[in-house]
Chain A
Amino acid sequence: MTDTLSTSVAHELDENALLQAYRTMRTIRAFEERVHEEFATGEIPGFVHLYAGEEASATGVCAHLDERDAIASTHRGHGHCIAKGVDVKAMMAEIYGKKTGSCQGKGGSMHIADLSKGMLGANGIVGGGPPLICGTALAAKQQGTGGVGVAFFGDGASNQGTTLESLNLASVWNLPAIFVAENNGYAEATASTWSVAADNIADRAAGFGMPGVIVDGFDFFAVYEAAGEAIRRAREGGGPTLIEVKFTRYFGHFEGDQQTYRAQEVAEARENLDCLKRFRSRVTETGRLEEADLTAVDTQVSDLIDAAVDEAKAAPKPTEADLATDVYVSY
């Protein structure tokens, strides 16, 4: 685990930035583990797909983003929301289908979004996001904001025509777009080693005239470094990049999935490859942060999630008056 490259990147980050990165990853983990527990009680409706295990990707990429930048997400979108700064309490309320939710209870887990934060939504359609990000990147380019667009998508979406067309278009138009392929090993119940007809998703970048990078998705610093380079290049007019982040999701495809299609990977990943454990030992062993600082964050995050759940449970549901509102701006 002594990656000198990543260690040097670690020195680019000051203590506050390190602590913020840890807070984001811890918030995602705690949020997802709590949703996992609460879903089992039957109180959370619908389909829920959890991001636990993949925290370093959203966090390492979004650490480089600001209000000029937009992201598009997947059905596994809670982590991307949190990393892009969406309010955690509003997110929890949304997942409970409450009026106080980030989408007023109309979207739910699979469509959770906050446009004011540049978060264009989780997406129920595999491969729905990459074309939209060509559009946000085009807007940033036309408007001269220096902003970038980041499309997070899964190994499943890497086989969709929409994704492949978007990679081509982004190169043809030289867009400030970053395509982050989150390869967690399985699209639903199908292994990416089977469904992706290439050794790596990143290998496909060559066919679209852009750099392709493979990153250890359990290593925040590796993601941070690769994303930093791609985003810098995009902001400077250097065009798109495809980054493949490899890791394992901790939970099933959806909550309730018995996961008979996979054997031992999860226990192994949780024990030895956990991005939070690795981050924690890296920053403490190198003397950058104290254990006590990190433990304090854990407590604060835990309190925040408790409050988010309590408030979500107590919040009102939307009513009949809400059913037909917001279909159009005007009609």
Chain B
Amino acid sequence: MARTISYREAINEALAQEMERDGSVIVMGEDNAGGAGGSGAEDAWGGVLGVTKGLYHRFPGRVLDTPISESAFVGAAIGAATRGMRPVAELMFIDFMGVCFDQIFNQAAKFRYMFGGKAQTPVVIRTMYGAGLRAAAQHSQALYPIFTHIPGLKVAVPSSPYEAKGLLIQSIRDNDPVIFCEHKALYDATGDVPEDSYTIPFGEANVVRDGDDVTVVAIGRMVSVAEEAAKALSSSGIEVEIVDPRTTSPLDTETILESVENTGRLVVVDEASPRCNLATDISALVAREAFGSLRAPVEMVTAPHTPVPFSDALEDLYIPDAQRVANAVKSVAEWKR
């Protein structure tokens, strides 16, 4: 039975159902319960934005608060994963990857390969990304392309509550390290989510909307931005097909190429800054693999090549919006040699 819940609730439910099912699943992070050693309540926060709320009492001893020591606890989650646990570590903001990146990209990502296929590291690192909350340059970045770049890591970027639950359960059951990227502006977004446990396989894109005129590939929160643009464009006679890759590594190249082969036109919408991001990666894929189908140059709608600004006046200009997506779609739809 599906019912309407939030992205935050969907993630919480995925964690709870997997902890219920598998005793090796543990959760750790800064204030994932909150209140450790304090004079007030236990489980005071349930994570800085309340995503892990309630798990601490429901699963005694399996929700671990940590000191602010990202290298140590992210590394510990990775180490525990090599010894039969399935830890879900929360890196509160994706920007904090800078503090602990060695443990992720030199350790977790490489174990399987450099140990000759003998290691298994089923760790999930949940992390919050994205602009929109005026959280400024060090708490707002969309850094999933950096993780996508690293062989050995899988990267999920859920766009809705439904994707969040199914992709997180898959992430926990997956035997490789997974970086699970939650957009901070989506936590209150709601959608239909089945009560029962389910998985969404990695590397399988979702065609969010069918259309024959222009393919729009959108990542994470940009899927809803693309949907908004598509609605407006439909009334002016342009039908957009929206593809949500759901995981950036592995990437479902087949669905993207099939769509472009049908429409002949591509716009990629990516909240990351414009160099070496998913937009450039997918554009290169299409230029190489579907060159014969293209009827217009590829367009990319991304953030500018700047840090994320604080002022609302600037941040609103920074984040790709529906108008920019619509303009890009129109430009490729109307393009003439």
Please state if A46 and B134 are interface contacts (CB–CB under 8 Å): yes
Tell me if A287 is interfacial: C-beta within 8 Å of chain B. no
The answer to whether residues A125 and B98 also contact, given A111-B136, A111-B138 and a CB cut-off of 8 A, is yes
Please state if B311 and A261 are interface contacts (CB–CB under 8 Å): no
Q: Which of these, A111, A156, A262, A324, contacts B310 with CB under 8 Å? A: A111
* A-contact 0/1 string along B38-77, CB 8 Å cutoff: 1111001100100000000000000001011111100000
Number of A-B contacts (CB under 8 A): 165
* A-contact 0/1 string along B70-99, CB 8 Å cutoff: 111000000000000000000000011011
Q: Which of B274-308 contact A (CB under 8 A)?
A: 304-307
Q: Inside 8 A of A47's CB, which chain B residues have their CB?
A: 133-136, 139
Q: Inside 8 A of B135's CB, which chain A residues have their CB?
A: 46-47, 110
Please state if A45 and B37 are interface contacts (CB–CB under 8 Å): no
B-side interface residues, number (CB < 8 Å): 43
Q: For the complex, what is the distance from the CA of A145 to the CA of B39, rounded to whole Å?
A: 46
Q: For the complex, what is the distance from the CA of A194 to the CA of B135, rounded to whole Å?
A: 28
* A interface residue count range (under 10 / 10 to 19 / 20 to 34 / 35 or more): 35 or more
Please state if A189 and B35 are interface contacts (CB–CB under 8 Å): yes
Q: For the complex, what is the distance from the CA of A113 to the CA of B68, rounded to whole Å?
A: 24
Please state if B68 and A127 are interface contacts (CB–CB under 8 Å): yes
Tell me if B238 is interfacial: C-beta within 8 Å of chain A. no
Q: Which 9 A-B pairs have the closest CB atoms?
A: A194-B37, A124-B138, A108-B310, A191-B37, A97-B311, A46-B134, A105-B311, A261-B35, A45-B134
Interface residues of A (CB under 8 A from B): 45-47, 97-99, 103, 105-108, 110-111, 123-127, 156-157, 159-162, 186-196, 259-265, 317-320, 322-324, 327
- Taking A46-B310, A125-B95, A189-B45 as known contacts, 20 extra A-B pairs with beta carbons closer than 8 A to each other, sorted by chain A number, are A47-B134, A99-B311, A106-B309, A108-B311, A111-B136, A124-B139, A156-B67, A160-B71, A188-B34, A188-B68, A189-B44, A191-B36, A191-B39, A261-B45, A265-B39, A317-B312, A317-B313, A318-B309, A323-B314, A323-B318
15 contacts between A and B (CB under 8 A): A45-B134, A46-B310, A105-B313, A126-B68, A159-B68, A160-B69, A161-B72, A188-B31, A189-B34, A191-B35, A195-B36, A196-B67, A261-B34, A318-B309, A323-B306
